[in-house]
Structure 1
Amino acid sequence: MERLESDDREATVTSWHSASLDGVFDRLETDEDGLTADEAERRRDEYGRNVIRRGESVSPLSLFVAQFQDFLVYLLVLAALLSLGVGLLPGEEPNYVDATLITLILVANGVFGFVQDYRAEQSMAALRKLSSPDATVLRDGEKVTVDASAVVPGDVVFLEQGDAVPADARLLSATNLETDEAALTGESTSVSKEPGTTDPDAPLAERTNMVYMNTNAVKGRGTAVVVETGMDTEVGGIATQLREAEDTETPFQREVDRLGRRIGYGVVALVFLVTLIQLSFTSAGPITILLTGITLAVAAVPEGLPAVVTLTLALGSRKLLDRNALVRRLPVVESLGSVDTIVTDKTGTLTESRMTVRRLSFGGATYEVTGTGLEPDGEFRRDGEAVDPDRLAPLLRCGAVCNDAERAPDSEDEEYYGDPTEVAVLVAAAKAGLDGDHERLREIPFSSERKRMTVVADEGCGLPGAADAPTAYVKGAPETVLERCDRIVADGEVRELTDERRQAVLDENRAFAGDALRVLGFACRTVEDADADADAIENDLVFLGLQGMLDPPRSEVREAVADCRRAGIRVVMVTGDNLATATAIGEDIGFDPEGAMTGAEVAELSDAELAEAVRSVEIFARVEPEHKVTILRAIQENGHRVAMTGDGVNDAPALRNADVGVAMGVRGTDVAKQASDVVLQDDNFVTIRDAIAEGRGIFDNVRKFVNYLLSANAGEVLVVFVGVLVGAVLFPRAFASRSEALVLTPVMLLWVNLVTDGLPALALGADPKADDVLDRSPRGDDEPVIDTRMMVSILTIGALMTVTGLALFFFGLSRTRDLVVAQSLLFTFLVTIEMVRIQSIRSRYDQEFFSNRWLVGAILVTLALQLLVLYTPLHVFFDVVPLSPRGWTWIGVAFLAFLVADALVSRLYDRTVADDRRPGSPRHED
Structure 2
Amino acid sequence: MRSLYLFIALRKTGNICPCRLENPAETPPAGGRPLADWYTLSAEEVRRELGTGPAGLSPGEADERLQRYGKNVLREEARETRLQVFLRQFKSVLIVILVIAAAISFLVGEPVDAAAILIIVVLNALLGFSQEWQAGEAIEALKKMLVQRAVVVRGGERQEIDAAGLVPGDLVALEMGERVPADLFIVEATSLEVDEAPLTGESSPVDKAPDSLPAGTTLAERSNMAFAGTTVVNGRGRGVVVATGMTTEFGMIAGLSQRVEDEATPLARQMDRLGRDLGLIALGIAVLAVAVGLLQQRELLEMFLVGVSLAVAVIPEGLPAVVTLTLAIGIKNMMRRNCLIRHLPASETLGAVSVICTDKTGTLTRNEMAVVRVKTPGAEVAVTGTGYAPDGEFLVGENPIDPLADPGLQQFLHTVLLCNHATLKLEEGGWRILGTPTEGALVVAAAKAGLSREDAPEAAKEFSFNSTRKRMTIVYPGEGDFVAHVKGAPEVLLARSSRLLRGDSVVPLTDDLRDALLAEIAGYASGGLRVLGAAYRPLPEGLEWTEETVEEDLIFLGFAGIVDPPRPEAAEAIRLCRSAGIDVIMITGDNPLTAYAIARDLGLSSEGALTGADLEALTDDELASRLRTTKVLSRVTAEHKLRVIDILARERAVIAMTGDGVNDAPALKKASIGIAMGIKGTDVAKESSDMVLVDDNFASIVAGVEEGRREYDNIARFTRYLLSSNIGELVAIVGALLLGLPLILIPVQILWINLVTDGLTALALGLEPAEQDVMQRRPRDPGESILTRNAYLVVLILGVWLGLLTIYVFSGLYQVDLDRARTMAFTGLIIFELYNVLNFRSFRFPLHRIGFFSNPALIFAILGSLALQALVVYVPILQTFLGTAPLTPADWGLLALLGLPVLIAGEVYKAVMLRATVR
TM over 0.5: yes
- Once residues 520 and 571 of structure 2 are traced to their aligned partners in structure 1, the CA distance between those partners, rounded to angstroms, is 28
- Opposite residue 855 of structure 2, the aligned amino acid is N
> Deviation at 1:718?
0.7
SS, match of residue 454 in structure 1: strand
**Structure 2: gaps spanning 5 or more residues:** 1-16
Name the CA distance, whole Å, in 2 between partners of 1:221 and 1:638: 48
Question: Aligned runs of 1:152-551 on 2, under 5 Å?
Answer: 152-284=167-299, 286-390=300-404, 391=406, 392-407=409-424, 413-437=430-454, 438-448=456-466, 449-460=468-479, 470-527=482-539, 529=541, 532-534=544-546, 535-551=548-564
The residue aligned with 2:8 is none
Residue 5 of structure 1, CA deviation: 5.7
1:774 is paired with a residue of what secondary structure? coil
* Equivalent residue number for residue 35 of structure 1: 57
Aligned-partner Cα distance in 2 for 1:804–1:618: 56
Q: Residues 639, 441 of structure 1: CA spacing in aligned structure 2 closer, same or farther, 3 A cutoff?
A: closer
Task: Quote how far apart the aligned CAs of 1:847 are.
Answer: 3.3
Measured at CA, do residues 775 and 900 of structure 1 come closer, stay the same or move farther in structure 2, by a change above 3 Å? closer
SS of the residue corresponding to residue 414 of structure 1 reads strand
Structure 1 residues 902 and 22 mapped into 2: Cα distance closer, same or farther (>3 Å)?
closer
What is the identity, as a one-letter code, of the residue corresponding to 1:543? F
1:840 corresponds in structure 2 to 839
- 1:900 offset after TM fit, Å? 5.4
Distance 1:453 1:876 in 2: 90
Q: AA paired with 2:435?
A: G
Task: Sort the Cα spacing of 1:3 and 1:251 in 2 relative to 1 into closer, same or farther, 3 A.
Answer: closer
**Separation (CA, whole Å) in 2 of partners of 1:502 and 1:901:** 80
Q: 8 Å contact 1:127–1:665 — kept in the other structure?
A: no
Query: How far apart, CA to CA, are the structure 1 residues paired with 2:752 and 2:18?
Result: 69
Opposite residue 891 of structure 2, the aligned amino acid is G
Mapped to 2, the partners of 1:472 and 1:411 lie a distance apart of 36
Change (3 A) 1:910 1:797: farther
User: What is residue 464 of structure 1 aligned with on the other side?
Assistant: none
The equivalent residue for 1:111 is 126
User: Partners of 2:220 and 2:500 in 1: how far apart?
Assistant: 36
Q: Does the 8 Å CA contact 2:372/2:561 hold for their aligned counterparts?
A: yes
CA 100–500 in structure 1, closer or farther in 2 if over 3 Å, else same? same
| Alignment check: 8 A CA contact 2:725 2:799 kept | yes
Give yes or no for the alignment of 1:716 onto 2:729: yes
- Residue 483 of structure 2 aligns with an amino acid whose one-letter code is T
Identity of aligned residues (%): 42
Q: CA deviation at 1:229?
A: 0.5
Comparing 590-599 with 231-240, which one deviates more in the overlay?
A: 590-599
Deviations 1:39-62 (CA, angstroms, capped at 9, x unpaired): 212222222221223221122222
C-alpha distance after superposition, 1:571-628 (max 9, x if no partner): 0011112222221222122223414211111111122212222222111111111111
Name the CA shift for 1:682/1:889 in 2 (closer, same or farther; >3 Å). Answer: closer
1:457 CA displacement? 2.5
Q: Equivalents in 2 of 1:203, 1:403: separation in Å?
A: 29
1:820 aligns to 2:822 (yes or no): no
Deviation at 1:893, TM superposition (A): 4.3
1:656-667 paired onto structure 2 within 5 Å: 656-667=669-680
| Equivalent-residue separation in structure 2 for 1:629 and 1:114 (angstroms) | 30
The answer to whether the 8 A contact 1:349-1:646 is kept is no
Partner residue in 2 for 1:90: none
8 Å CA contact 2:356–2:584 kept in 1: the answer is yes
Q: Structure 1 stretch 682-691 or stretch 748-757: which is displaced more?
A: 748-757
Contact 2:146-2:228 within 8 A present in 1 as well: no
Q: Distance in 1 between matches of 2:180 and 2:386?
A: 28
Change (3 A) 1:52 1:341: same
CA contact (8 A) 1:649 1:671 kept: yes
Note if contact 1:188-1:551 (Cα within 8 Å) is conserved in structure 2. no
Residues of 1 paired with 2:696 and 2:892: CA distance?
59
Tell whether the 8 Å contact from 1:800 to 1:902 is kept in structure 2 after alignment. Answer: no
Q: Which amino acid aligns with 2:58?
A: T
2:760 aligned residue: 759
Closer, same or farther: CA 903–518 of 1 in aligned 2, 3 Å: closer
Query: Which is worse superposed, 97-106 or 540-549?
Result: 540-549
- Equivalent pairs counted in the alignment come to 885
The answer to whether the 8 A contact 2:736-2:744 is kept is: yes
Name the stretch that deviates more: 232-241 or 623-632: 623-632
**TM-score, reference length from structure 1:** 0.91
Q: Given that residues 615 and 635 in structure 1 are in contact (C-alpha distance below 8 angstroms), is that contact kept between their aligned partners in structure 2?
A: no
Q: What is the CA distance between 1:872 and its match in structure 2?
A: 2.9
Matched, 1:71 2:70: no
Aligned to 2:898: 894
1:588–1:99 CA distance, 2 compared to 1 (3 A) = same
What is the distance in 2 between the residues matched to 1:834 and 1:537? Answer: 88
Higher deviation after alignment, 258-267 or 392-401: 392-401
Contact kept, 8 Å, 1:189 with 1:355, in 2: the verdict is no
Question: CA, structure 1 residues 356+149, in 2 after alignment: closer, same or farther (shift >3 Å)?
Answer: farther
Deviation, 1:21, is 4.1
Q: Is the 8 A contact 2:200 2:219 kept in 1?
A: yes
Which of residues 16, 41, 47 in structure 2 aligns to 1:25?
47
Q: Report if aligned partners of 1:133, 1:164 keep a CA contact under 8 Å in 2.
A: no
Identify if the C-alpha distance between structure 1 residues 398 and 888 changes in structure 2 by more than 3 Å, giving closer, same or farther: same
Is 2:96 aligned against 1:82?
A: no
SS at match of 1:175: strand
Which region of structure 1 is more displaced relative to structure 2, 771-780 or 489-498? 489-498
Counterpart mapping for 1:617-636 below 5 A: 617-636=630-649
**Which digits, 9 at most, give the CA deviation of each residue in 1:215-243, with x for residues without a partner?**
12222222211100111000100000111
Change (3 A) 1:491 1:4: closer
Deviates more, 1:324-333 or 1:846-855: 846-855
Specify which of 114, 121, 129 is matched with residue 99 of structure 1: 114
Structure 1 CA distance, aligned partners of 2:889 and 2:245? 80
- SS, match of residue 553 in structure 1: coil
What is the deviation of 1:706? 0.4
CA contact (8 A) 1:182 1:347 kept: no
| C-alpha deviation, 1:790, in angstroms | 0.8
Aligned residue identity for 1:775 = Q
CA distance 1:641–1:531, change in 2 (3 Å) = same
Q: Is the 8 Å Cα contact of residues 281 and 725 (structure 1) preserved in structure 2?
A: no
Distance 1:582 1:520 in 2: 18
What are the Cα deviations for residues 755-812 of structure 1, in whole angstroms up to 9, with x where unaligned? Answer: 3222222222122222321111111233221111111011001111122222222233
The match for 2:858 among 855, 870, 874 is 855
Does structure 2 conserve the Cα–Cα contact (< 8 Å) formed by 1:453 and 1:475? yes
Equivalent residues of 2:839, 2:907 under 8 A apart = no
Distance 1:517 1:400 in 2: 20
- Listed as ranges, the matches of 1:570-585 within 5 Å are 570-585=583-598
Q: Deviations over 1:687-712 (max 9, x none)?
A: 10110000000001101100110000
Q: Is the CA contact (8 Å cut-off) linking 1:760 and 1:859 kept in structure 2?
A: yes
Match of 1:644 among 641, 644, 657: 657
Equivalent residue letter for 1:842? R
Contact 2:139 2:683 in 1 (8 A): no
Alignment match, 1:700: 713
Counterpart residue number, 1:923: none
- Whole-angstrom CA distance in 2 between matches of 1:458 and 1:520: 24
CA distance in 1, matches of 2:907, 2:896: 17
TM-score of the pair, normalised by structure 2: 0.92
**One of 63, 68, 73 as aligned partner of 1:46:** 68
Residue 283 of structure 1, CA deviation:
2.9
Map 1:605-624; keep pairs closer than 5 Å: 605-624=618-637
Q: What is aligned with 2:799?
A: 798
